């Protein structure tokens, strides 16, 4: 039997939750918990939908591994509660989590920082798109991509090939969010780059290229189908690799992220120009997930990865002293 790792104390693996990504989070959390237990960590599963988050303190937990995805898990709300309880947690702090969860605010920070992201428009729920249609098409072109700003796992997202499809695509996004984010559709190679660490010690892992059989890396392609092809390291030139890794690292640091994360990038066909799409601050940890894949290529196995992320758990808000 593996000796208990007392250095990390009693650990709660937060999973499940109430977001639209609950199903994925259950898979992530179950795998993280099993890996920690195999490494001798005193880890316990804690479903935030079924249990009161403030019971973490009364139950004597010393730190938290966040395996929640989506709202009330990686959007800063949970992080704020953990800060109040004084419980160190994995990943980014309150502000960085909130910024990264909001794809509109993410883009605004990146564009202000001189980073490249697709052109966009944002429309509130209930907008009559008809009088705006010509202007949106002129600005963003066709095809376009529509998504809810606060969801992940491609939920509520879709490609618009004809202007007449835009209203329906926005209606779908509005089922998940109060606004719809409409982006210029950058068509090309789908890449992702994981980051480990914080500040000057943060490092970019090998880039993964995603090749969905259907050409659309949607929820099913991510989590349910086995015909999506992943290439790690991605087949890029040394110069391209360095450029994209630096871009992902700069994007991570611009948002104030720490601990770990994953930046999604599109490499435009034709001119091979990279565009940042989004930053995930609580990446998936299922058997289909990309951070474990990149870490393995880098020389870090799954069990080592989860212990490394957990060991970096911290509080981010400095308490007043004196």
In the set 264, 282, 289, 302, the catalytic residue is 264
Whether 296 sits among the annotated catalytic residues: the reply is no
Alpha helices in the chain (DSSP H): 22-38, 55-58, 77-85, 94-101, 103-112, 133-140, 166-174, 219-223, 238-254, 290-298, 302-311
In the set 17, 19, 21, 117, the catalytic residue is 21
Whether 280 sits among the annotated catalytic residues: the reply is yes
Q: φ and ψ at 137, to 5 degrees?
A: -65, -40
With b for 16 or more beta-carbon neighbours within 10 A and e for fewer, the 118-141 pattern comes to: bebbebeeeeebeeeeeebeeebe
Question: What gap in Å lies between CA 121 and CA 226, rounded to an integer?
Answer: 34
Whether 5 sits among the annotated catalytic residues: the reply is no
CA atoms within 13 A on the CB side of 143: 12
Whether 258 sits among the annotated catalytic residues: the reply is no
Whether 262 sits among the annotated catalytic residues: the reply is yes
In the set 223, 252, 259, 261, the catalytic residue is 223
- 181, burial (CB in 10 Å: exposed 0-12, middle 13-18, buried 19+): buried
Whether 278 sits among the annotated catalytic residues: the reply is yes
What secondary structure letter does DSSP report for 281?
S
Whether 223 sits among the annotated catalytic residues: the reply is yes
In the set 19, 183, 278, 282, the catalytic residue is 278
In the set 280, 282, 289, 302, the catalytic residue is 280
In the set 22, 63, 71, 262, the catalytic residue is 262
Whether 74 sits among the annotated catalytic residues: the reply is no
Alpha helices in 54-132 (DSSP H): 55-58, 77-85, 94-101, 103-112
In the set 153, 258, 282, 289, the catalytic residue is 153
In the set 74, 263, 284, 289, the catalytic residue is 284
What secondary structure letter does DSSP report for 9?
-
Rounded-to-5 percentages of helix, strand, coil across the chain: 35, 20, 40
Q: Which residues are catalytic?
A: 21, 153, 223, 262, 264, 278, 280, 284
């Amino acid at each position: 039997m593996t000796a208990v790792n007392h250095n990390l104390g009693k650990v709660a693996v937060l999973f499940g939750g109430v977001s639209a990504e609950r199903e994925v989070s259950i898979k992530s959390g179950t795998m993280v918990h099993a890996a920690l237990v195999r490494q001798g960590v005193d880890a316990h599963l804690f479903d935030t939908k079924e249990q009161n988050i403030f019971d973490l303190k009364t139950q004597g937990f010393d730190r938290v591994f966040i395996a929640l995805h989506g709202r009330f898990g990686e959007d800063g709300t949970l992080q704020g509660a953990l800060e109040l309880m004084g419980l160190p947690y994995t990943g980014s702090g309150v502000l960085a989590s909130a910024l990264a969860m909001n794809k509109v605010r993410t883009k605004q920070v990146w564009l202000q920082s001189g980073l490249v992201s697709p052109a966009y428009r944002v429309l509130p729920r209930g907008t009559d798109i008809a009088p705006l249609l010509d202007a949106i098409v002129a600005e963003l072109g066709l095809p376009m991509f529509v998504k809810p700003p606060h969801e992940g796992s491609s939920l509520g997202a879709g490609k618009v090939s004809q202007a007449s499809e835009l209203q329906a695509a926005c209606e779908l996004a509005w089922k998940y969010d109060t606004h719809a984010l409409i982006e210029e559709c950058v068509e090309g190679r789908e890449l992702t780059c994981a980051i480990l660490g914080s500040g000057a010690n943060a490092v970019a892992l090998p880039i993964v290229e995603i090749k969905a059989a259907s050409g659309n890396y949607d929820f099913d392609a991510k989590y349910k189908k086995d015909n999506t092809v992943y290439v790690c390291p991605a087949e890029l030139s040394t110069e391209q690799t360095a450029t994209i890794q630096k871009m992902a690292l700069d994007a991570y640091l611009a948002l104030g992220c720490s601990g770990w994360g994953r930046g999604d990038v599109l490499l435009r066909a034709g001119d091979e120009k990279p565009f940042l799409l989004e930053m995930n601050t609580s990446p998936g940890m299922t058997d289909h997930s990309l951070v474990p894949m990149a870490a393995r290529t880098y020389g870090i196995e799954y069990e080592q990865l989860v212990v490394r992320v957990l060991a970096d758990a911290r509080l981010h808000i400095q308490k007043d002293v004196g």
